[in-house]
């Protein structure tokens, strides 16, 4: 195809690679206007370096850094999960006060959920009272807007990623685990400057594999985007 895309260094997750949700959303954008897409991450995402976009199977795409396969993306029109339980903005704010992430470590500079970054999205997903799940309030900054004034899709994918980790391991230790696959459907646009709720809940574990779902809601409870994530603990 002869085209490339680049993950800017400021959109990192681990210190030296791209945030999984942001990168997956950027890769999914290559599929055009597909409302739902599945992205499988195969290798750490390089920062500030052109990633080649190649034709994949069917309507899918492949993304490569030289000989290294970085990711694969495909439309997922069948993906349309049930909406989450309702969470109010006040509940989400209270949950954020119990955000369990440490202030140092591999993900301490993640642009979505790092306590240590003044420019982070401050999506601090903490446990909900009386329910199995986590939540955070989120107000997208103005710079996340596209030319039509809506939050860019890759930023919705971003904030759907980190909370799934805290949902999968809620109430226990926080082991090292990386996003391996993310499937997302976007129903409506988010608006910069408005208050939103991000909620996530566990879907189950099998050995080193952990699954969780997340959604972005308006402050009134409308589901704007919903995703499922597969995370894998390294051997």
pLDDT digits (tens, 9 = 90+) for 147-175: 999 999 999 999 999 999 999 998 778 88
pTM for the whole thing? 0.96
CA distance 3 to 49: 13
Looking at residue 202, its pLDDT comes to 96
Give all domains of the chain, ordered by start, each with its CATH number: 3-75 (3.10.129.10), 89-232 (3.10.129.10)
Helix axis angle, 153-168 to 20-29, nearest 10°:
140
Q: Which residues contact 80 (CB under 8 A, 6 or more apart)?
A: 36, 185
Q: Which two tokens stand for residue 184?
A: 């997302």
CA distance 91 to 144: 25
Strands (E) across the chain are located at: 3-5, 36-41, 51-55, 61-65, 68-75, 126-127, 134-138, 178-186, 196-206, 209-218, 223-232
Looking at residue 13, its pLDDT comes to 95
pLDDT in tens, 107-121: 789 999 998 899 999
Helix (H) or strand (E) holding 29: helix 20-29
Looking at residue 172, its pLDDT comes to 79
Mean pLDDT of 80-100: 94
pLDDT in tens, 119-152: 999 999 999 998 889 999 999 999 999 999 999 9
CB count within 10 Å of CB 129 equals 8
User: Residue 230 pLDDT more than 80?
Assistant: yes
Looking at residue 107, its pLDDT comes to 73
CB 43 within 8 A of CB 86: no
Looking at residue 1, its pLDDT comes to 64
User: Residue 83 pLDDT more than 70?
Assistant: yes
Q: pLDDT > 70: what percent of the chain?
A: 99
- On average, the pLDDT of the chain sits at 95
Looking at residue 200, its pLDDT comes to 97
Looking at residue 106, its pLDDT comes to 65
């Amino acid at each position: 195809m002869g085209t490339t895309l680049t993950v800017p260094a400021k959109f990192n997750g681990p210190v030296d690679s791209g945030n999984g949700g942001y990168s997956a959303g950027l890769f999914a954008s290559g599929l055009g206007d597909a409302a739902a897409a599945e992205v499988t991450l195969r290798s750490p995402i390089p920062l500030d370096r052109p990633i080649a976009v190649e034709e994949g199977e069917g309507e899918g795409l492949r993304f490569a850094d030289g000989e290294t396969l970085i990711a694969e993306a495909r439309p997922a029109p069948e993906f349309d999960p049930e909406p989450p339980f309702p969470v109010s903005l006040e509940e989400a704010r209270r949950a954020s006060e119990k955000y369990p992430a440490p202030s140092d470590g591999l993900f301490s500079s993640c642009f979505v959920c790092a306590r240590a970054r003044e420019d982070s999205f401050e999506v601090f997903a903490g446990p909900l009272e009386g329910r199995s799940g986590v939540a955070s309030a989120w107000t997208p900054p103005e710079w996340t807007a596209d030319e039509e004034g809506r939050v860019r899709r890759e930023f919705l994918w971003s904030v759907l990623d980190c909370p799934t980790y805290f949902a999968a391991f809620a109430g226990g230790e926080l082991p090292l685990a990386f996003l391996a696959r993310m499937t997302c459907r976007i129903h409506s646009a988010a608006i910069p400057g408005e208050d939103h709720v991000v909620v996530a809940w566990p879907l189950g574990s099998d050995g080193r594999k952990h699954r969780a779902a997340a959604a972005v809601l308006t402050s009134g409870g409308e589901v704007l985007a919903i995703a499922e994530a597969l995370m894998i603990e390294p051997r």
